[in-house]
Amino acid sequence: MKLIDLIPNGHGYDVSKVYEGISGNHPLAKSSFAQIRKTCESIKAEINSRYSPGTFAGVEEVTGKIEYILERLEKWIEDGKLHNNKDAEVFMDSFCDRFEELKAMLIAIDSNPEE
């Protein structure tokens, strides 16, 4: 299985629902966020199961940033402070940027798993 295949087809939908939770208090924001977190955790677990720590320093750096972003977003969701939260919007933007970086890295690893 390729690492990139761990990202479900509905990932973009889940991201959009979290954004809608920020802008319009969408009721699916919490469940969509949970799916995003699950996806990120499964990617990290699969990388850790296949490769020894430190093999892909860039991946570790990006996943660390993603984890921090998700922790902050989760706190706002759990506290009911996601709606109209500009900080959450900025963190979500950063998540999207970091996740695109991660996707590019996964594609590179899938293409050259020995490097």
Instruction: Give CA–CA dist 115/97, Å, rounded.
Output: 24
Structure-token pair, residue 84: 């109209």
- Summarize pLDDT for 83-103 with one digit per residue, the tens: 999 999 999 999 999 999 999
pTM for the whole thing? 0.93
Going by C-alpha positions, the residue among 59, 68, 64 that lies closest to residue 101 is: 59
Q: What is the pLDDT of residue 20?
A: 97
pLDDT along the chain (115 residues), means of 10: 96 98 95 98 94 90 97 97 97 98 96 71
* Mean pLDDT (the chain, rounded): 95
**Dihedral (CA of 20, 26, 31, 33) sign:** positive
